[in-house]
Structure 1
Amino acid sequence: MFGIYLKRELGRRKKAALVIALGLALGIALVITVSSVSAGMTQAQDKVLKSLYGLGTDMTVTKAQSAPKAGSSQGPNFKFDAKSSSKTSQSSDRVMTQGGQALKASLVEKVSAQKGVASAVGALSLNVTKVDGSFTQGKAQSSSGSGSNGRAQGGPGGPGGSTGGSGQPQVQGGGADFDVNNYSVAGIDVTDQELGPLASTKITSGRTFTASQTDAKVAVVSKSYAKSKKYKVGSTFKISGTKYTVIGIATPSSSESSTDVYLPLKQAQTLADAKNKVTTIYVKATDSQRISAVKKEIQANISGTTVTTSSDLASTVSGSLSTASSLAAGVGKWLSIAVLAAAFLVAALLTSSAVSRRVREFGTLKALGWPSRKVTRQVVGESMVNGLIGGALGIALGLAAAYTVTAISPKLTAQLGSTGGGPGGNMGGPGGGGPGRSTASKLESALTAPVSMTTIALAVGLAVTGGLIAGAMGGWRASRMRPADALRSVS
């Protein structure tokens, strides 16, 4: 009886049922769209952070650069030999650590021993400034001639004392022509390449380091740097007089890397005169849900260090990715709530209004012996069906919107800069020179809108909730009707 009556009543009120269902569908579709876009934002941000932070890296340990002493110079300086030849080529490299104060390499083992740490490796971030060019020696030339006011020989000026005689020698020609090449170098632990700068890249030509090449004069260079210098596997280059052979070309997994050259850690330490030193310790936690606890553990047991997690780094991301993420998380969230609240209210009002127009019907049913709970069940049942129909339509619309966003894949830019403003800062992309980099990395990521089963379950729950709210209001109104109301409504 319930099913037959329910089917007949929904068939008689198709328009009202459709309006209620569509209202709920729009609200549910908006919730699905916002949820899927927010999930896509999170994925895009994680992709950006992994490309800079290092795949598998949960946090980094660094130490802020100490303040320079009064009168000391922190800038690069170059010394060239004085040569007697007229044109002499000169070349000089300035190798400096960057990313904060150097740490003892022994701290890597101490960090590894902390509770909740799965593994830790050290890396040394360097900046190399190469000045290459030549000086050209100028020539001294003097001009002679008689001035208009010249005096005769033997005058007060003495022999040859004319004021228009030989002039002062003047240097003509000469000068200097130098090129400055600035690039970043990362010294990595070749025995564990799963963490650190090289972890977020893919070797597309040649090979990576082997575990035995801890002090070998070999290098892996980034694709962009190799292209600019026309390097290929087998090419050689020099840093401070040491020749290195390119064994591999690395391509970033998702974006341009800001590290140009990768060397074995010992070689980088030798170049920077930083034996047994590192600038960044990359840490992987045993449980990704306990990263905050591991951070506190390291800070408590290793004083003077700064621990930066992925979430800390995420707060420095700006650009269209950050803007879109804020809109999806903030505006989108409250817009969804507002639309859902409006949809629920409209559904409840329309259901209550429909009940008011069915006074004769419900009054007659009560006169025939229907109890109030049965009338209420009938109204709630109709509202639940409307809600489920709205939920199905909303899921379909939401999936279509999410698919459209994924198909278009709009490009979002992300700029990750240092909060430290230079060496000694606490943030930055460790994969590209470590915390405190003074330059920002501009990256690009495609937006997708993945829909999870959790989102679908949420949509179904909202549909049922909307039906219950509408049914509860309509059922309460129907339960208050009396059989006598049916007679009053007869014209």
Structure 2
Amino acid sequence: MFFTYLRRELRRRRKAALVVASGLALGIALVIVVSSVSSGMGKAQDKVLESLYGLGTDMTVTKAVEQPTGEDAERPRFQFDAGEEGAGEQSSDRVMVQGFQTLAASTVDKVGRQKGVSGAVGGLSLQVMKVNGEFTRGEVQPQEGAAPTAPGEGGGGGGGRVEGGGAEFDVNSYSVYGTDVGQLGLGPLTTSKITSGRGFASGDTDAKVAVADSAYAQENDLKVGSEVTIKEVKYDVVGIATADSGDSTADLYLPLKQAQTLSDSADKITTIYVQAADSQQIDAVKSQIQKNIAGTTVTTSADLADTVSGSLSTAADLATKVGTWLSIAVLIAAFLVAGLLTSSAVSRRVREFGTLKALGWKSGRVTRQVVGEAVVNGLVGGALGIAVGLAGAYAVTAVSPTLQAELGGGTEAAGPGGGGRMMMTGGPSASRTLDVALTAPVSVTTILLAVGLAVTGGLIAGAFGGWRASRLRPADALRRVE
């Protein structure tokens, strides 16, 4: 009887039921789209962080660079002397530790022994600045009436003037990362895939081999089998790596021991990448490391996420704040409208319910009938909302808008020069930008949330109508005209 009456009433009031279901569908669809976009934002941010940290890395341990004072504050420089011979090609590399003050390699073992740490690996970040070019000696042009000046006799005394000459140098700056080839499961290189050749092997601890980032390799015409020279040491390119995020941590990757030798940083590292045994205890592990290893700075993924700026950060804020509150407001409005429409429908069915009560229906049965109709309306609205929400999420994924995340990193070069000597100094830190494609994945949890909201909306609407129906008295109801 319950279902027969329910089906008959819903069929008879199709328009009213569709209006209620449509209102709920709008709110539920918005929740699905906002939830899926927020999930996509989270994945995009994780992708950005992984490009800096590497897969599986929960935090990094570093030591901040101390600000030099006095003579130590002088910036690093290259010096080239033209010499007596005049012309000649000059080339020199400057390998500098980048970003942080070095830590003893033994610190990795100390970090690995801390409670809650499941893995730790050290790495060395370097910046190489290569200056290559040549000096051209000027020629002495005699003045009118003066005897020609032979080379080496000088051009003073008014006997002539020097014309031409100078220096032409190219400056190339690129980054190098020293990788612990014995522990390749952590660190920035884990976010890159070897697309040509091979990666590092455990036997490459002190081998003169290198893995090049694909973008850097393309720019410099490098391929597997090519050679790169750093400080007159030749390294064979054994592999080309392509970063998943579109931007790699370094241009070249070397075995850690080789990177330490190049930079005169024996048994030194700049960064320790740490994996926690329990992702829920990251803050506790951070506190443990800071307490037991003095002078270090521990940065978690959450800390780093706060420093990410750009359109990705702006969109994430909109999705989590504006989108969430908008969804809540629309849901509340939809629930209220559904409740008021259901209550209004009960008012128009006064004679019907009065007749049912006169025939022996109790108030509870009438209430259950009204609530049942409202729940069915809610489920219909939920189905419509899920369909619209999935369509919206699919549209976002299909369009896949590109967002930008700005991160600190990189080193710019500046090189004032003069006379027969050239200086090369390291410049300030520059930001780099990652392009991340936005997707809107819909999880099973989101679908279950939508179903729950649909049932909740139906129950709220049924509560309004049921309360109104339960207050009707048969005698009063029969005296009213529908």
Q: TM-score, normalised by structure 2?
A: 0.91
Cα distance in 2 for residues equivalent to 1:75 and 1:12: 85
Counterpart amino acid of residue 72 in structure 2: S
* Superposition map of 1:184-333 within 5 A: 184-333=175-324
C-alpha contact 2:127 2:411 (8 A) present in aligned 1? no
What amino acid maps onto 2:377 in structure 1?
N
Query: Which residue is equivalent to 1:353?
Result: 344
Deviation (angstroms), 1:71: 3.3
- In the alignment, the residues of structure 2 paired with residue 380 and residue 209 of structure 1 have an alpha-carbon distance, to the nearest angstrom, of 66
SS in 2 for 1:126: strand
1:174 alignment partner in structure 2 = 165
Measure how far apart 1:421 and its partner are.
11
Residue 17 of structure 1: aligned partner: 17
SS in structure 1 at match of 2:167: strand
Give a deviation string over 1:430-489, Cα, whole Å, max 9, x none: xxxxxxx92222112222111111111111111111111111111111111111223321
Residue matched to 1:95: 95
CA distance in 2, matches of 1:308, 1:64: 12
CA-to-aligned-CA distance 1:192-219 (integer Å, 9 cap, x gap): 1111122111111111222122111111
The answer to whether the 8 A contact 1:79-1:92 is kept is: no
1:405 aligns with 2:396: yes
Distance 2:478 2:107 in 1: 90
CA contact (8 A) 1:360 1:485 kept: no
The reply to whether residue 386 of structure 1 matches residue 377 of structure 2 is yes
Determine if the alignment matches structure 1 residue 68 to structure 2 residue 68.
yes
Which amino acid in the other structure matches residue 113 of structure 1? R
SS at match of 1:238: strand
Greater Cα offset, 314-323 or 298-307: 314-323
What is aligned with 2:138? 138
State the shift of 1:490 in Å.
4.3
1:464 corresponds to: 455
Aligned-residue CA RMSD (Å):
1.9
- Alignment partners' CA distance in 2, 1:446 and 1:403: 14
CA contact (8 A) 2:51 2:249 kept: no
2 CA distance for matches of 1:283 and 1:251?
Answer: 23
Residues in 2 aligned to 1:457 and 1:74: alpha-carbon distance in whole angstroms:
62
Whole-angstrom CA distance in 1 between matches of 2:159 and 2:88 = 27
Paired letter, 2:54: G
Check whether the contact 1:144–1:167 (CA below 8 A) recurs between aligned residues: no
Q: Distance in 1 between matches of 2:168 and 2:65?
A: 34
Picking from 477, 480, 491, the partner of 2:471 is: 480
Q: Distance in 1 between matches of 2:181 and 2:316?
A: 37
Structure 2 residue ranges without an equivalent (≥5)? 147-156, 413-427
Aligned match of 1:366 in 354, 357, 367?
357
Partners of 1:445 and 1:251 lie apart in 2 by 15
Q: Shift of residue 417 of structure 1?
A: 2.3
Instruction: State the Cα deviation string for residues 47-74 of structure 1 (Å, max 9, x = none).
Output: 2221222112111100000110223334
SS in 1 for 2:170: strand
Q: Runs ≥4 in structure 1, deviation > 3 angstroms? A: 166-169
The DSSP-based 3-state class of the residue aligned with 2:77 is coil
The C-alpha deviation readout for 1:104-130, integer Å capped at 9, x for no partner, is 011000001011111111111111111
Per the TM alignment, residue 328 of structure 1 is displaced from its structure 2 partner at its CA by: 1.1
Which deviates the most, 179-188 or 395-404?
Answer: 395-404
Measure the CA separation in 2 of the matches of 1:377 and 1:473: 12
Report deviation, 1:168: 5.6
Query: Any conservation in 2 of the 1:203–1:251 contact (CA below 8 Å)?
Result: yes
Mapped contact 1:48–1:255 kept (Cα < 8 A): no
Q: Distance in 2 between matches of 1:56 and 1:450?
A: 22
Per the TM alignment, residue 237 of structure 1 is displaced from its structure 2 partner at its CA by 2.4
Deviations 1:350-395 (A, max 9, x none): 0111111111111122222222111111111111111111111111
Indicate the SS of the match to 1:318.
Answer: coil
Q: 1:350 to 1:88 in 2, by over 3 A?
A: same
Letter in 1 for 2:203: S
Q: Which residue of 2 is the match for residue 433 of structure 1?
A: none
Q: Deviations over 1:257-282 (max 9, x none)?
A: 14111111111111111111000011
> 2-side partners of 1:220 and 1:453: how far apart?
40
The one-letter amino acid of 1:184's match is: S
Distance 2:481 2:232 in 1: 106
Matching residue's letter, 2:83:
K
Deviation at 1:333?
0.5
2:51 equivalent in structure 1: 51
Distance 2:20 2:55 in 1: 48
8 Å CA contact retained: 1:269, 1:275:
yes
- Aligned-partner SS, 1:313: helix
**In structure 1, what residue type is equivalent to 2:433?**
K
Query: Does the C-alpha gap of structure 1 residues 204 and 40 become closer, same or farther in structure 2, counting only changes over 3 Å?
Result: same
Letter in 2 for 1:138: G
Matched letter for residue 475 of structure 2: A
Equivalent residue letter for 1:144: E
**Correspondence for 1:376:** 367
SS of 2:71's partner is coil
Q: Which amino acid aligns with 1:278?
A: I
Fraction of identical pairs, as percent: 67
Give the letter for the 2:180 counterpart.
D
Q: Give yes or no for contact 1:135–1:176 (8 Å, CA) kept in 2.
A: yes
AA aligned to 2:112 is S
CA contact (8 A) 2:20 2:338 kept: yes
- CA apart distance, 1:342: 0.6
Count residues with an aligned counterpart: 457
| Structure 1: segments with no counterpart, 5+ residues | 147-165, 423-436
Cα separation, 1, equivalents of 2:440 and 2:374 = 31
